[in-house]
Amino acid sequence: MHPAFSVIFLTTLIGIGQGLFLALYTGQVYALANLIPVQESLGFYAIGSLIALVFLLLGLISSVFHLGRPERAWRAATMWRISWLSREVIVLPLFMFLVFLYGITHYFGWTQPLFMVADTLAVDLSLIIGLLASISAFALFICTAMIYASLKFLQEWHTPLTVLNYSLLGLASGFMFAAAFSAYASLDLVSLFGTWAVIFTVLGAISRGASLVRNRNLRDKYGLRTAIGVRHPTLKQLSQGFMGGAFNTKEFFHGRTPGALRLIKLFFLLAVFPVPIAVLATAYVMESSLLPIAAFAIQYLGLIAERWYFFAEAKHPQNVYYQSMA
């Protein structure tokens, strides 16, 4: 497939937004359980929610560039019963709205307990909204990834690992940003978010590695023989029927050499997984407040390459019809 940067930015940016929100909510739950000191609502949760919203909005804007007719995008919400893309189109704004509400609740300090559960757990408005937003964050991971995982012809994508990768890499980058944000704002949460970022990065490495191994061992289900229905061992295309370009020769071919692909794979395998962990560990040892930002930036660059590779790696069955120009 030809990787489209609109979709690469959409999926990576909303991944950060989702992960960052989940990090904020994790912080609130930890504070509720008295594992960390209670954070000041305005500075931490409200600004954190705002930043998560900015990431989500940037992703949304980027997705618009993928559409030929963005003015009709509202129509994309209609087929939610059958289309994962339609479901994503609904869940993304819903999640953004809930994050907005969550930020507003904290901004105005509407955090007085509404009721108590078992005399110990004080439930306030932000906790309820946060729970709903967390559920929709995970729902969004599933919708986004299922857009790709549901296409059975693209065998590289048609696996539960796709959903796992999108979720874990989104969580890793979101928690990494939360760690960088806490370090920058000199909050006492760097080690909490940093630890979770490392855990998600390691889990992501295992799951992404598993999908790479799986895809390397894939054998094409299809071939030229069934594609044109001539059962002969020796078969080749002489002409695809035209010498100019066409949608079929552009949309489904990445046009890079195998060497370039290997290089990009190597880059993302380093930049997404070991390097940010090493930088974060160094930051922990040196108590640096800038290195976590570097760790996030490196991982995000790596994620762009990871998503690029995700698209480039998928071989579309239609390509067997477009092998020879003359």
Provide the binding-site residues for another protein, judged by CB under 8 A: 1, 66-70, 72-73, 75-79, 82-86, 89, 147, 150-154, 221-222, 224, 226-230, 232, 234-242, 244-248, 250-252, 316-319, 321-322
Phi, psi of 105 (to 5 degrees): -60, -40
In whole angstroms, the minimum distance from the beta carbon of 317 to another protein comes to 4
- For the chain, how big is the Rg over CA atoms in Å? 22
What is the nearest approach in angstroms of another protein to the Cβ of residue 87?
A: 9
Residue 195 Cβ vs another protein, minimum distance, rounded to whole Å: 38
Structure tokens at 53: 């919203």
Burial class (CB in 10 A: 0-12, 13-18, 19+), 83: middle
Kindly state the smallest distance separating residue 240's Cβ from another protein, in Å: 5
Q: How far is the CB of 278 from another protein (least distance, A)?
A: 37
Amino acid sitting at position 118: A
In whole angstroms, give the CA distance from residue 76 to residue 70.
10
Which of 317, 196, 321, 312 has the alpha carbon at shortest distance from 263? 312
Tally Cβ neighbours within 10 Å of residue 7.
21
Min dist CB 320 to another protein, Å, is 9
Of the pair 6, 111, the CB lying nearest another protein is at 6
Which CB, 140 or 298, lies closer to another protein? 140
User: What end-to-end distance do the CA atoms of the chain give, in Å?
Assistant: 22
- Of 248 and 289, nearer to another protein (C-beta) is 248
Rounded alpha-carbon distances, angstroms, from residue 30 to 35, 144, 270: 5, 28, 31
Q: With respect to another protein, which residue has the nearer C-beta, 250 or 262?
A: 250
Nearer to another protein, 239 or 278 (CB): 239
Question: Would you state the structure tokens that stand for residue 244, as one six-digit string?
Answer: 């100019």
